[in-house]
């Protein structure tokens, strides 16, 4: 494979703040048992790429814990494999993909890699993008930089020769271009720009609204089938959870559930992550319940996003709306009196 992949996980997504207080956007849980970066990493691996550099943003402990040496993606290799490339400046995060200042700090990674081409991508676009196919199109078109697009929207993934990237990294200060995306957007003179039209599932997760919408869309069979392709599986760090228990008196409809949960209540149109406990007489409707949440008896929840480890006291009523779901932050304890 002639391609090395860069995942720029340092792009700032201010509208996702509630979910990124303790983690980078790359490790936001999605679809019950995944983190956002799983989709990008899996696409990379499913495209036959075996060398990946990840540029994380602070706080990245959660991301590091999740990807480790890349074992779950078969990227723990003697040759090539996964490289975690943090940068020295804490506020390296910026608004566009492929920031040169960050990449420059790891110039040696590019100089040492054997691959001729680089794809610079992000982890807030969930798709089944095939980088191998994109590379073919890139080479055929003769363009210097190719951008992946779909439905008139940019997927913010860019492909170019490694030698050109190194050239950018050497000259960006004097040229006043600050990222690959910046360069493409401004169509900087002297280069040919191409586009690669991707057809297939995609969702850009850059706000609570788009996060909620994309999550709910997974309940539609057609959408789900176009994201979970049997021959291009999505890999993640697997936990040893037992199967989920649907207890006597429970009712679960039109819902995605991960392993290790225990459900005694009524759940409709929702995404339930692993090791969640939903107790008797509790209603959960149009909610995203992340891992290890506990919802006690007699609660009534609608349009709620509960981040990891949220505890909801018995009898709590929480009603968000489709347009404005209520977000409960990681580890929050919701007491009945407080929401009154």
Min. distance of Cβ 101 from another protein in angstroms? Answer: 36
Q: How many CA atoms lie within 13 A of 117 on its CB side?
A: 20
Q: Count the neighbouring beta carbons within 10 Å of the beta carbon of residue 239.
A: 12
Residue 72 as a binder of another protein (CB under 8 A): the answer is yes
Min. distance of Cβ 247 from another protein in angstroms? Answer: 6
Residue 311 as a binder of another protein (CB under 8 A): the answer is no
Alpha-carbon distance of 147 to 191, in angstroms, equals 13
The residues, ordered by sequence, that sit 6+ positions from 281 with a Cβ below 8 Å of its Cβ are: 265, 297, 298
Alpha-carbon distance of 6 to 181, in angstroms, equals 13
Residue 235 as a binder of another protein (CB under 8 A): the answer is yes
Helices (H), 47-199: 61-67, 100-105, 107-112, 131-141, 162-175, 180-185
Alpha-carbon distance of 309 to 50, in angstroms, equals 34
Binding mask 263-302 for another protein (x = CB under 8 A): --------x-------------------------------
| CA proximity to 77, closest of 125, 43, 45, 99 | 45
Smaller CB distance to another protein: residue 39 or 100? 39
Q: Which of 228, 298, 300, 329 binds another protein (CB under 8 A)?
A: 228
Identify the bridge partners of residue 11 per DSSP, sorted by sequence position.
Answer: 94
Q: Is the distance from CB of 195 to CB of 11 less than 8 angstroms?
A: no
Q: Which of 245, 319, 322, 333 binds another protein (CB under 8 A)?
A: 245
Binding mask 161-200 for another protein (x = CB under 8 A): ----------------------------------------
DSSP state of 11: B
Smaller CB distance to another protein: residue 154 or 268? 268
Of 57-65, 124-132, 198-206, 252-260, the segment contacting another protein by CB under 8 A is 252-260
Q: Which of 7, 27, 33, 110 binds another protein (CB under 8 A)?
A: 33
Smaller CB distance to another protein: residue 10 or 72? 72
Which stretches of the chain bind another protein, using CB under 8 A?
Answer: 31-33, 72, 221, 224, 228, 233-236, 238, 240, 242-260, 262, 271
């Amino acid at each position: 494979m002639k391609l090395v992949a860069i995942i720029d996980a340092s792009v700032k997504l201010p509208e996702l703040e509630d979910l990124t207080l303790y983690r980078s956007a790359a490790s936001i849980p999605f679809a019950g048992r995944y983190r956002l970066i799983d989709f990008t990493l899996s696409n990379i691996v499913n495209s036959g790429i075996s060398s990946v550099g990840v540029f994380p943003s602070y706080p990245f402990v959660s991301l590091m814990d999740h990807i480790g040496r890349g074992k779950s993606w078969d990227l723990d290799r003697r040759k090539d494999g996964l490289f975690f490339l943090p940068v020295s400046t804490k506020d390296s995060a910026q608004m566009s993909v492929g920031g040169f200042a960050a990449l420059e700090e790891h110039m040696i990674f590019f100089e040492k890699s054997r691959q001729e081409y680089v794809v610079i991508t992000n982890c807030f676009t969930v798709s089944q993008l095939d980088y191998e196919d994109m590379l073919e199109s890139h080479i055929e078109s003769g363009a210097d930089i190719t951008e992946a697009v779909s439905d008139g929207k940019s997927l913010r993934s860019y492909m170019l020769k490694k030698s050109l990237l190194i050239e950018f990294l050497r000259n960006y200060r004097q040229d006043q271009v600050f990222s690959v995306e910046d360069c493409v957007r401004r169509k900087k003179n002297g280069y040919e720009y191409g586009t690669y039209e991707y057809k297939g599932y995609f969702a850009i997760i850059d706000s609570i609204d788009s996060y909620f919408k994309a999550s709910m869309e997974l309940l539609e069979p057609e959408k789900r089938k176009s994201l979970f392709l049997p021959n291009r599986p999505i890999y993640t760090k697997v936990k040893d959870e037992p199967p989920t228990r649907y207890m006597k008196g429970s009712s679960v409809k039109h819902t995605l559930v991960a392993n290790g949960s225990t459900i005694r209540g009524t759940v409709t149109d929702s995404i339930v992550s692993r090791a969640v406990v939903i107790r008797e007489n509790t209603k959960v409707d149009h909610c995203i319940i992340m891992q290890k949440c506990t919802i006690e008896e007699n609660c009534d929840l609608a349009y709620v996003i509960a981040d990891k480890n949220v505890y909801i006291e018995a009898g709590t009523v929480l009603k968000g709306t489709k347009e404005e779901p209520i977000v409960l932050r990681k580890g929050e304890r919701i007491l009945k009196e407080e929401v009154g």
